[in-house]
Chains A and B, each alone.
Chain A
Amino acid sequence: MADTRHGEPSDVRLIIDVARRLRNFDLRVTVVSPADRVVLFGPSGSGKSATLQMVAGVLRPEYGRIQVSGQLLLDTTSGKNLKARDRNVGYVPQGYALFPHLTVEQNIAFGLPRDQKRERSRVDELVHLVGLEGERRTHPGRLSGGQRQRVALARALASNPRVLLLDEPFSALDPVLRPRLRDEVRSIQQEAGVPMIVVTHDLSDAFQLAEWLVVLDRGSVLQQSRPDEVFNRPATVDVAKLVGMTNLLPGRVIGSDPTGIDVEWHGHVLRSEPGESISSAPYPVGCPVIVGIRPTSLMFRLAQRSYEGRQNVLGGHIVREVWSAESCRLSIRVDPSHSEHDLEAELPGYAYYRLELDQRKDVEMSVRPSLVHVLPMSDSLPS
């Protein structure tokens, strides 16, 4: 990543390369994104908000370089550091920070560039864009969480920013409202045609908003890639845990060929076929590895069907069922019993009844080899 410093390829949309000592850890983050919609994802205290504040110009890195859409905002080696007021970013902090003494339209007008201060039409346009025509003269204290978020978004867009910076934009919202506002933010952003960096600790936010997903923990980037890549092929066990790949099975490589790897796990053979050509066979035979399987990747066999000739077939019985609104999460003890490695499976409610799981607890499952992911044993990447 360090060699991006000279002659970035033209498809690089965003560079963040910053370092700073924070209270609990050293932040050292390098993001190079080819896409306009970037999500910084990680648990709380991972340094993602601090990184966003550095892009906004309200927190100063000890050294670093930030470039957004070809515009250099900060470069400590050349001593360049645009002040927050000169960066032209649309920063929406957690909790939105609306000005409580101003009405909705005054809040939005606050973001207008100086030469447009008197342009009513621009405020009208933004009020319309976020659908708050009825609340123009309302103060933020009287708005709902979703309305506040939209005011904050309109205020940020009013300055015609070169990038929108949203810190946990949905965390203060009703969970029922979240998906709708997520869609709304995405469509408003696309309509306005402004690049966006979103900070979130929520997996669904990350997956649905990101074109480029950056996974952070304790001040470091664990992985950055297209979101489906991160979700299906996490680089490390830590990333796998963060992105909800809960089945992490320790095994040993027993075979490897150009299309896939066979891993032995407690007497079962699990075959992984990543699809793309396997990069120079990183896992030699005998190598201890972790097999990662998402809970939604396990397929159950109907009671009357046979799995003859299929790969990655596992038998077992259900030991626990946890229902949420639309889906059921099952804990399955695989035969022969390994209580310390129960598999977790998640399936929609209708599938549960279609499979007659209310009547039988013994199940047979299979996993497509393309959905079996092999991870290195330790968190250091195979060289």
Chain B
Amino acid sequence: MIGGIDPADVRITLQVATLATMLCIIFGVPTAWVLARYRFPGHAFVEALVTLPLILPPTVVGYYLLRTFGQSSPIGRFLDEELGVHLVFTWWGAAIAASILSAPLLIRTAQAAFERVDPELERVAATLGRTPVGVFFAVTLPLAVRGVAAGIALAFARAAGEFGATIMIAGNIPGETRTLPVSVYDAVQVGDIARANATALLLISITMGVLLFFTWATLLVAREQ
């Protein structure tokens, strides 16, 4: 391939970023909604906690994931012995690591978008017979769609570029866990400057492409309103 890019690196990167983004949506959007709509004891603590991965060195996150899911921990042993699931040194582990590091971007962006939705609209929707879930999908989400979509785009781009935690938990196994960012590092280590250049450029293109696509898509949605 051009400049010696390994197609497997591209495939693994897209797998990791897609799964990580899906995990972010499943856990992050409800979290963002709860943080936006409810005030409860420990609200500030939860906010700080979900923002933490943004500030922490990814290697620290990766280190704790390794300790949590590795063979030395009860959770890791349970997953291995009872369910046959291996997260360490697999692309699944990389996806989990990437989802944790991308989550703050999705949660904080979506939270801000939900906070801008007038709660009076949700109350009226409830008096018109909608369940809380119905209110969310008919009113809250459509009105917050730009912010939520922007959060998803950021999360995907961040997940595609994750390096530190990925290399801690998934390592650098070509064809199995080596993503594009890991490949850049690997190429530099072995002195393959051509591959490093090509891979870095490809990574920039993918993330730019994703961000532009989401900007365009949300503009299209916004024009409808």
Stretch at the interface among B38-46, B91-99, B137-145, B196-204: B137-145
Question: Is B130 on the interface with A (CB-CB < 8 A)?
Answer: yes
**Among the listed B124, B127, B143, B225, which residue makes an inter-chain contact with A139, where contact means beta carbons less than 8 Å apart?**
B225
B143 near A100 with CB under 8 A, answer: yes
> Which residues of B line the A interface, CB within 8 A?
118, 120-121, 123-131, 138-139, 142-143, 224-225
A85 near B120 with CB under 8 A, answer: no
B121 near A89 with CB under 8 A, answer: no
- Min Cβ gap B195→A in Å is 47
Give 13 A-B pairs besides A86-B129, A97-B124, A159-B129 with Cβ atoms closer than 8 angstroms.
Answer: A56-B123, A58-B123, A58-B127, A85-B126, A85-B127, A85-B131, A89-B127, A90-B127, A93-B123, A99-B143, A101-B142, A101-B143, A113-B129
- Min Cβ gap A347→B in Å is 43
B225 near A84 with CB under 8 A, answer: no
Minimal Cβ-Cβ distance residue in B for A165: B127
Interface string of A149-178 (1 = CB under 8 A from B): 000000100010000000000000000000
What is the bound-complex CA distance between A92 and B127, given in angstroms? 10
What is the bound-complex CA distance between A192 and B18, given in angstroms? 53
What is the bound-complex CA distance between A89 and B138, given in angstroms? 19
Question: Is A20 on the interface with B (CB-CB < 8 A)?
Answer: no
Contacts of A86 in B (CB 8 A): 129
Minimal Cβ-Cβ distance residue in B for A58: B123
Contacts known (A97-B121, A100-B143, A110-B138); A91 close to B225, Cβ less than 8 A: no
Contacts of B125 in A (CB 8 A): 99, 110
**Among the listed A93, A95, A100, A155, which residue makes an inter-chain contact with B128, where contact means beta carbons less than 8 Å apart?**
A155
Question: Is A316 on the interface with B (CB-CB < 8 A)?
Answer: no
Contacts of B138 in A (CB 8 A): 110
What is the bound-complex CA distance between A84 and B134, given in angstroms? 13
Chain A, interface residues (CB within 8 Å), range:
20 to 34
Among B121, B123, B129, residue most surrounded by chain A Cβ atoms (within 10 Å): B129
- Min Cβ gap A194→B in Å is 14
- Min Cβ gap A234→B in Å is 33
- Min Cβ gap B130→A in Å is 6
What is the bound-complex CA distance between A84 and B129, given in angstroms? 7
What is the bound-complex CA distance between A83 and B123, given in angstroms? 11
B118 near A97 with CB under 8 A, answer: yes
B124 near A93 with CB under 8 A, answer: yes
Minimal Cβ-Cβ distance residue in A for B132: A85
What is the bound-complex CA distance between A87 and B139, given in angstroms? 20
- Min Cβ gap A93→B in Å is 5
28 contacts between A and B (CB under 8 A): A56-B127, A57-B126, A58-B123, A83-B126, A84-B127, A85-B127, A85-B129, A85-B130, A85-B131, A90-B127, A91-B123, A93-B120, A93-B123, A93-B124, A95-B120, A97-B118, A97-B123, A97-B124, A99-B139, A99-B143, A101-B143, A101-B224, A101-B225, A110-B125, A110-B128, A110-B138, A113-B129, A139-B225
Among B118, B121, B124, B138, residue most surrounded by chain A Cβ atoms (within 10 Å): B124
Contacts of B127 in A (CB 8 A): 56-58, 84-85, 87, 89-91
**Among the listed B118, B120, B121, B126, which residue makes an inter-chain contact with A84, where contact means beta carbons less than 8 Å apart?**
B126
**Among the listed A58, A90, A114, A155, which residue makes an inter-chain contact with B126, where contact means beta carbons less than 8 Å apart?**
A58
Contacts of A90 in B (CB 8 A): 127
Contacts of A84 in B (CB 8 A): 123, 126-127
> Which residues of A line the B interface, CB within 8 A?
56-58, 83-93, 95, 97, 99-101, 110-111, 113-114, 139, 155, 159
What is the bound-complex CA distance between A114 and B118, given in angstroms? 24
What is the bound-complex CA distance between A92 and B120, given in angstroms? 10
Contacts known (A110-B138, A139-B225); A97 close to B126, Cβ less than 8 A: no
B124 near A91 with CB under 8 A, answer: yes
Minimal Cβ-Cβ distance residue in A for B130: A85
- Min Cβ gap A8→B in Å is 25
Contacts of A159 in B (CB 8 A): 128-129
B120 near A111 with CB under 8 A, answer: no
What is the bound-complex CA distance between A93 and B126, given in angstroms? 13
- Min Cβ gap B78→A in Å is 41
Across the A-B interface, give the 4 residue pairs with the lowest CB-CB distance, nearest first: A91-B127, A84-B126, A58-B123, A97-B120
- Min Cβ gap A122→B in Å is 14
B121 near A99 with CB under 8 A, answer: yes
Among B131, B139, B143, residue most surrounded by chain A Cβ atoms (within 10 Å): B139
B225 near A100 with CB under 8 A, answer: yes
- Min Cβ gap A61→B in Å is 16
What is the bound-complex CA distance between A90 and B128, given in angstroms? 7
Minimal Cβ-Cβ distance residue in B for A155: B128
What is the bound-complex CA distance between A86 and B143, given in angstroms? 24
Contacts of B126 in A (CB 8 A): 57-58, 83-85
- Min Cβ gap A113→B in Å is 7
What is the bound-complex CA distance between A90 and B124, given in angstroms? 9
What is the bound-complex CA distance between A92 and B128, given in angstroms? 10
Contacts of A87 in B (CB 8 A): 127
- Min Cβ gap B119→A in Å is 9
Minimal Cβ-Cβ distance residue in A for B224: A101
Contacts of A110 in B (CB 8 A): 125, 128, 138
- Min Cβ gap B108→A in Å is 23
Among B127, B130, B131, B224, residue most surrounded by chain A Cβ atoms (within 10 Å): B127
What is the bound-complex CA distance between A159 and B128, given in angstroms? 7
What is the bound-complex CA distance between A295 and B134, given in angstroms? 53
